[in-house]
Structure 1
Amino acid sequence: METEYLDEEQVISLYNKVRTGKKTWPTGIWSSPAALQYAVTVFDYWIHNVMGWKGWPDARGKITPALLEEHRLADLVESVFVPEFGDDWLDFEVVLNESMRLSEDEGWAPDVSDRQERVEAAFEHAFEKLIGSPKQQPKLLPTYHRFRNHLLRMWSAFQEAQAEHDKAERESAERFWASLRLVRSSRGHAAEAWSIVNVDDERRGEVVMVWGEPHPYCVVVLDDDIEAGSWEQVIYRLEQEILVEEPGVVSYAVWHKGFVGEYYRCADCGELHSQFDEDTSNGLRLDDLEPPEER
């Protein structure tokens, strides 16, 4: 069965469940087009958030096979990193991470604007800094060329994963809105409301936007019959066709068979992130908000 594309937050959430023994990795996740992207996301999260290390260079001398087993990362390494990069995968990842950090620093090499060119130029700098100079140490040339080939292949893999992501989003949106539409139901100075209706004009959801300070606040309530997870399609449609605010400015409270969570659009990665680090729903349902005498 083909594995559904997961965004960064979903991958991290899944890893935390695997790490704590609540779940196992889905079949096929490490053979999917996005496997490399998933692996790097998980490992980067583990280094910074689980282990509390400053970065990949700091982790370089601390990672052991036993530690990988303990934190449920051994399968990831053996299934993705070793086949892709060889036994010195960690050295490559350290160089790659430093390359990406440099390439995203606007103050570094401001004359190089192309994204891929910046990554390649940053790689040259990072390799010399962390491994050594191939010009001064010719014995490093094979490693240099191998790492550079890894970099180009990894860039290609990320491009492919992004294409899969975009395709999945388009198909999901087409499925969701095929029989639904968003209709404005009211409009005031400080708030607006829309209804989600089907082809028979039956309501399947409500959206209310309050134009308050310090930023707008949006409440999305979906009918129980709506497919789980479809609330993201509602937010995407709002952002594309109605809202003019920058990503991350609007807070979204989502209700679907209970309280799903509160989210914002991350300006850095473009994904929707939870306002809370942990699940705050605790099984809360819309019925719980009604006065006792009305239940």
Structure 2
Amino acid sequence: MDTEYLDDEEVIALYNKVRTGRKTWPAGIWSSPAALQYAVTIFDYWIHNVMGWKSWPEARTRVNPVLLEEHRLADIVENVLVPEFGEDWLDFEVVLNESMRLSEDADWAVDLTDRQERVEAAFEHAFEQLIGSPQAKPGLLATYHRFRNHLLRMWGSFQEAQAEREKAQRDAGKDLRLVRSTRGQSAESWSIVNGEDERLGEVSMLWGEPHPYCLIVLDERIAEGDWEQVVYRMEQEVLIEEPGIVSFAVWHKSFLGEYYRCLDCGELHSQFDDDGPADLRLPGMHEPDDDDD
């Protein structure tokens, strides 16, 4: 199998082709560093989008070997989940997903800011709610420690998969480079060129207040999605100490949106996903009064 890293959308698209009989699993996919992340992503998609179940606890009582075979999930269980977590892999996945859901709730444990600490604390809560309290039931202590070890090992696997993803992103656009065109006191610009020195786009950076603003315009010949590699190269090129303060406006055939680097997860997020209507209002505009016609 090609060792190219698959993001969530790509692995879900692959699963749907396997599930409907249009493809088989590529050789080596379940021995890749990202295998565990793929497995969890596919199962989460299957539970919520294919089966329409509301949660993992609901799935816990419905999953059976026949259903797994029918939906082409048996290979994932046999090659990834059972070797990683044992025969009670489903119980662990239920606890894990409830832990992740709780850890991502901004209103829960606001004093914990480190992501791994939040997941571990949420695990303690989820285990007690779904399985039981090891303090009240000492017989659960062995299961608790085993599940907690699973959690830490899985976290390590996810970190490794993330490293693979970052490497894939760097490799995807390795033929693209930035060549400075102009440099002024408050603005700079670059041309995006490939290995043959063909110009494939322009980048302009405005060093304004309250934060820098970067405009990226890409040629149609650049592959869809490679704009993220351009952003990555910009962050390396200009040595931005706080990447999260820069807004990137991206044009590729059409306006794709404005993005920023999230300091919590390291991913690029759409600015408009975070801004409410009031936040997007131009300066000087006001909320309409109830009496306005």
Shared fold by TM > 0.5? yes
What secondary structure, in the 3-state scheme, does the structure 1 residue paired with 2:200 have? strand
Deviations 1:188-217 (A, max 9, x none): xxxx997433577x53423589xxxxxx99
Deviations 1:194-241 (A, max 9, x none): 7433577x53423589xxxxxx99653244xx6786454235445776
1:203 equivalent to 2:198? Answer yes
TM-score, scaled relative to structure 1 = 0.70
What secondary structure, in the 3-state scheme, does the structure 1 residue paired with 2:178 have? strand
Cα offset, 1:83, TM superposition? 0.8
* Equivalent in the alignment of 1:103: 103
* Equivalent in the alignment of 2:283: none
TM-score, scaled relative to structure 2 = 0.71
Deviations 1:90-130 (A, max 9, x none): 11000011111222223222233332222222111111100
1:9 equivalent to 2:5? Answer no
Cα offset, 1:72, TM superposition? 1.6
Kept after mapping to 2: 8 A contact 1:30/1:76: yes
* Equivalent in the alignment of 1:141: 141
Deviating more after overlay: 233-242 vs 25-34: 233-242
How many residue pairs get matched?
259
1:132 equivalent to 2:132? Answer yes
Which one-letter code corresponds to 1:134 in the other structure? P
| Alpha-carbon distance in 1 for matches of 2:131, 2:80 | 23
Kept after mapping to 2: 8 A contact 1:3/1:26: no
Kept after mapping to 1: 8 A contact 2:179/2:191: yes
Distance 1:99 1:26, change over 3 A: same
Distance 1:120 1:246, change over 3 A: closer
Kept after mapping to 1: 8 A contact 2:30/2:80: yes
- Residue segments in structure 2 that go unaligned for 5+ positions in a row: 183-187, 205-213, 271-293
Kept after mapping to 2: 8 A contact 1:99/1:123: yes
Which one-letter code corresponds to 2:267 in the other structure? G
Alignment identity in percent? 62
Cα RMSD between the aligned structures? 3.9
Distance 1:94 1:130, change over 3 A: same
| Alpha-carbon distance in 1 for matches of 2:257, 2:78 | 35
Deviations 1:232-285 (A, max 9, x none): 4235445776899979x8675645xxx9x9677596772689xxxxxxxxxxxx
Cα offset, 1:142, TM superposition? 1.8
1:29 equivalent to 2:68? Answer no
Distance 1:16 1:146, change over 3 A: same
Deviating more after overlay: 36-45 vs 104-113: 104-113
What secondary structure, in the 3-state scheme, does the structure 1 residue paired with 2:175 have? helix
1:233 equivalent to 2:232? Answer no
* Equivalent in the alignment of 1:87: 87
Distance 1:262 1:199, change over 3 A: closer
Given candidates 214, 218, 226, the residue that maps to 1:220 is 218
Deviations 1:123-143 (A, max 9, x none): 111111001111222221221
| Alpha-carbon distance in 2 for matches of 1:168, 1:199 | 18
Which one-letter code corresponds to 2:218 in the other structure? V
| Alpha-carbon distance in 2 for matches of 1:137, 1:31 | 37
* Equivalent in the alignment of 2:167: 167
What secondary structure, in the 3-state scheme, does the structure 1 residue paired with 2:218 have? strand
Distance 1:253 1:197, change over 3 A: closer
| Alpha-carbon distance in 2 for matches of 1:73, 1:19 | 8
What secondary structure, in the 3-state scheme, does the structure 1 residue paired with 2:25 have? coil
Kept after mapping to 1: 8 A contact 2:85/2:92: yes
| Alpha-carbon distance in 2 for matches of 1:263, 1:89 | 40
What secondary structure, in the 3-state scheme, does the structure 2 residue paired with 1:205 have? strand
What secondary structure, in the 3-state scheme, does the structure 1 residue paired with 2:192 have? strand
